[in-house]
Amino acid sequence: MNMERGGCSLSGGGERQGGERRDTAAQSGMITLEELESFSEEQLSDSGNGSLEDGEMVGDGEQDRLLHYWQDIARGHRVEVPRDMAEPIQQLTTNNNGSQNRESVPFTLISRKEKCEDVLYEKRHYGKAHWACIAIKEETYEQSTCYGFMKIMRYICQQNSLGSYLGMTVPIVTVVRTDETTLSRAVTLAYYLPSQHQAQPPQPYDTEIVIEQWPATTVYTRAFAGAPNETTILNEISILAELLDSPELYVTDSFIVASYTNPAAANRENEIWFLERP
């Protein structure tokens, strides 16, 4: 199955809904995908805000404190979080209480390769489904990822035709492209629509976000821990390619990074996915 360069879909057969993507100038005000993916109770405690009980609402004053906390984190990455991120941050804080509240993208396990009880890689089948995605290119890989997720985050939280919080799903996936030695700055960030929204996906207000129906596909996947960056991604691609030792099996210039956990976790969980050739 071929990946469409510069587009959101895994193949040229994806159906676009909600309009065409428009190009915009590079923007500042980005923080990393992992930092925006979830706001943990542990992080709240560390920031002096205290933990949130189930169902507890965040007031205007607390919303400002949460925003300022994220702005402090962002300064460490030499970026600025805009004021309009206050409400999305609040919504993720109050609704995203741990991984038990996140729906997983469904798949069927086809096979698993193990050695000494360690899983080397798995082969899985993912069914046809709707994803909200954005294809972008910024000055760096991290900026591209951050820019895309900030927009996806706003869509999840309220900037959609339902005007409501849609719910987090895992993994958040990033389609990356490589010439074997470097990653392209152009990436595609994608969010799986929760099952209750698959039949009628809420439309994004942001015209850069496109609802795609991705076709069913088979992937080879290997788990890895730590923060995904250009170095670790290229290393994981090399490891899985060596394990498979059959480049004719999979697409060799486009891959997927799947992220499952937030930076507060002791061991961050990610996967590298290779798409099986048709």
* Tens digit of each residue's pLDDT (9 = 90 or more) over 147-195: 788 889 889 988 999 999 999 899 999 999 998 788 888 999 999 999 9
Between 20-24, 30-34, 143-147, the lowest mean confidence (pLDDT) is in 20-24
Q: Assess contact for 133 and 212: CB atoms under 8 A.
A: yes
pLDDT tens, position by position, 214-256: 999 999 999 999 878 888 999 999 999 999 999 999 999 999 9
pLDDT average, residue stretch 114-143: 91
Q: Is pLDDT above 70 for 68?
A: yes
pLDDT score of 74: 61
Give the CATH architecture of domain 15-23+102-275.
Answer: Alpha-Beta Barrel (3.20)
Q: Is pLDDT above 60 for 51?
A: no
Which tokens go with 242? 């060596």
Q: Where are the domains of the chain?
A: 15-23+102-275
pLDDT score of 37: 47
pTM score of the predicted model: 0.77
Give the rounded percent of residues in the chain with a pLDDT score beyond 90. 45
> Could you give the angle at which helices 86-95 and 141-157 cross, rounded to 10 degrees?
70
pLDDT score of 140: 74
pLDDT average, residue stretch 109-138: 95
Between 9-13, 112-116, 121-125, 150-154, the lowest mean confidence (pLDDT) is in 9-13
Residue 195 phi, psi (nearest 5): -55, -35
Contacts of 152 (CB under 8 A, 6+ apart): 132, 134, 172, 189, 191, 209
What is the separation of C-alpha 128 from the centre of its chain, rounded to a whole number of angstroms?
A: 18
pLDDT score of 4: 42
